[in-house]
Amino acid sequence: MADLLGSAGEMSELALAQDILDHYASLDDAGKLDFLGHLAHDMNIDPEAVRSALEAYEQAPSKRSYRAFMQAAEPPRQELIRRLNRVPGATGALVGMRADLLRLSGDDPELAALDLDFRHLFASWFNRGFLVLRPISWESPAHILEKITAYEAVHAIQSWDDLRRRLRPRDRRCFAFFHPAMPDEPLIFVEVALTKGIPGSVQALLTENRTTLAPETCDTAVFYSISNCQAGLASVSFGNSLIKQVAADLSAELPGLTRFVTLSPIPLLTTWAKAEGIAMPDDPEARRALAAHYLLHAKERGNAPFDPVARFHLGNGALVHAVHADADASPNGQAQSGGVMVNYLYDLAQVAAHHEDFQTKQKITASSEVTSLAKAGAQAVTAER
């Protein structure tokens, strides 16, 4: 690999890079871990070199001394990864390499540092300005649809018929971000239902027997499923951009849309309740109240919401709009939250202010109905103890 950073000409460089990628692809997990360990250990920064380059720069700041510092302060593996990326199709392979790294790295601090380098490069390469938003429809290529089915992480797509039901009707939309260097690989996608009023059950949304609505008559866009597709792009965040871009585009196309909400799972409600020693109530209203309390007040260390989906949407500037019992009848929905789901509302005019409040004051905005519900939930919890 050092050769790739050496002086060889471009053609041989490309051939060498291809060889390295091919070699990596042929390795088993133990071999991959060796390879990644080599990057982590042998292509790290040299603190002594950083220190002396820094001092030289401090004493005489110049183009030359700054360049020397830049080179010393960046581990050689970053340049290696950039050179591997010159090969056609390499971007996807490198995303896969990071997926391996995340899967295999365990607690190793050197591998964790390597991961930060990957993430640093990917954040630059997958910059929002480079992403392309594409609608996904029943007219999309089958090999893309096959991946949508495979990557759906919230409400599993059961079959091609199920997929058709989510894509073909005029009141159903789907959008994905793609990167030009990975044209066949969605990075993240969102499924949207256009509705009249805010729905309180995902099974009602996805049922076979429903009447398609004319999009012009709908007032609400429901983001009912958001799935990240690439394990190797973890923590390189697209979801916020995707939701806001899709909301802006739909709003321009269909001026009748006045509300943009999610219909979201509450994945850790049961887990939290168990840890707190609270039994999941049988009464639907009590379940709603408990969920409202949880969403507004359950925190992890650092004062962030305990629930990861809440963390995501509230961090984007959404507010907690409504909570529904008996909203997800699937076994998974029953297990994770007793079937309770939540609508987060994206009020495009307020989203920046809510985000600011959330980031700086940890303030969670909620509708007055949910706020009342959460109070009832808090009292029940106290009473139970």
Q: How far is the CB of 30 from a copy of itself (least distance, A)?
A: 23
Of 361 and 385, which CB lies nearer to a copy of itself in the complex structure? 361
CB 121 within 8 A of CB 79: no
Of 31 and 135, which CB lies nearer to a copy of itself in the complex structure? 135
Binding positions for a copy of itself, 199-238, rule CB under 8 A: none
Binding positions for a copy of itself, 355-374, rule CB under 8 A: 355-356, 359-360
Of 112 and 204, which CB lies nearer to a copy of itself in the complex structure? 112
CB 94 within 8 A of CB 85: yes
- 338 dihedral zone (left: phi>0; alpha: psi -120 to 50; beta): left
Structure tokens at 347: 């009020």
- How many CA atoms within 13 Å lie on the side-chain side of 288? 19
Of 92 and 284, which CB lies nearer to a copy of itself in the complex structure? 92
Q: How far is the CB of 51 from a copy of itself (least distance, A)?
A: 6
Residues in the chain: 385
Binding positions for a copy of itself, 55-74, rule CB under 8 A: 57-58, 61-63, 66-67, 69-70, 73-74
Of 9 and 277, which CB lies nearer to a copy of itself in the complex structure? 9
- The answer to whether residue 25 forms part of the interface with a copy of itself (CB under 8 A) is no
Binding positions for a copy of itself, 237-276, rule CB under 8 A: 240-241, 244
CB 265 within 8 A of CB 328: yes
Residue partners of 372: CB distance under 8 A and separation at least 6: none
Structure tokens at 175: 């959008």
Alpha carbons 183 and 161: distance in angstroms, whole number: 25
Listed in sequence order, the DSSP H helices in 298-367 are: 308-316, 331-337, 351-361
Q: How far is the CB of 326 from a copy of itself (least distance, A)?
A: 33
Give the strand pairing for 341-345 and 319-324. Answer: antiparallel
Q: Which of 127, 235, 332, 362 binds a copy of itself (CB under 8 A)?
A: 127
Q: How far is the CB of 262 from a copy of itself (least distance, A)?
A: 16
Sign of CA dihedral 314, 316, 317, 321: negative
* Piece in contact with a copy of itself (CB under 8 A), picked from 169-177, 218-226, 303-311, 347-355: 347-355
Phi, psi of 318 (to 5 degrees): -80, 170
- The answer to whether residue 164 forms part of the interface with a copy of itself (CB under 8 A) is yes
Of 187 and 268, which CB lies nearer to a copy of itself in the complex structure? 187
- Report the candidate in 229, 132, 134 with the shortest Cα–Cα distance to residue 179: 132
Structure tokens at 28: 């088993």
Of 165 and 287, which CB lies nearer to a copy of itself in the complex structure? 165
* Piece in contact with a copy of itself (CB under 8 A), picked from 1-9, 202-210, 252-260, 261-269: 1-9
Q: Count the site residues for a copy of itself by CB under 8 A.
A: 73
Q: How far is the CB of 54 from a copy of itself (least distance, A)?
A: 6
- The answer to whether residue 113 forms part of the interface with a copy of itself (CB under 8 A) is yes
